[in-house]
Amino acid sequence: MILMPVLLLLIQAQAVAPPVQPLTLKAQYDWGYVGADGEGKGTFSALLEPGKGKVVLELHGLGERLVLLQGDAESGYRILIPRQKLDRTVKSIGEVPVPFLPKLGSPAALQLLLEKGEGPGVKVSSQDALGPKKLRYQGKDEQGNDVMVWLTRTRWERNGP
């Protein structure tokens, strides 16, 4: 019976096939900000593993860390904003008060923002083979004041499917 050896080969091929790597996205951007509380510029770094809900975001300006957001879907997300003396942990990334990004609600939505430029108030002004090179976000801060953020991608690394 020829079917049995074919099935055996398929089973063996599946047994030795490498495991599927989860998606990991690492990106870095130069940023600029204008809002009611002033202006700024610096670097924005992101590490995402959307399948695990893992997010690490760092915003630096003038040699200091302005914002650190880290966590995952299982243990929650911690945000540190030293200048505002804010240190808070929340269950959902959608609860995090991040004034420099639109309200996204999930790590997968953050992935879409970085990979495709999709998000409320976001416009792509330049794109290359890797995706959006220059992004602009126009929205409101927690007090309802207008904010404008520009991102220019300087580093991009994507592993996985």
pLDDT exceeds 70 at position 5:
no
Exposure string (b/e) for 8-23, b if CB count within 10 Å is 16 or more? eeeeeeeeeeeeeeeb
Mean pLDDT is lowest, of 15-24, 73-82, 96-105, for: 15-24
Confirm or reject CATH 2.60.40.10 for domain 21-159, answering yes or no: no
The pLDDT score that the predictor gives to residue 22 is 63
The answer to whether the CB of 150 falls within 8 A of the CB of 138 is no
* % the chain with pLDDT above 90: 50
Q: What is the pTM of this model?
A: 0.79
The pLDDT score that the predictor gives to residue 56 is 94
Q: What are phi and psi of 101, to 5 degrees?
A: -130, 150
What is the mean pLDDT of the segment spanning 139-157? 90
What is the mean pLDDT of the segment spanning 48-73? 90
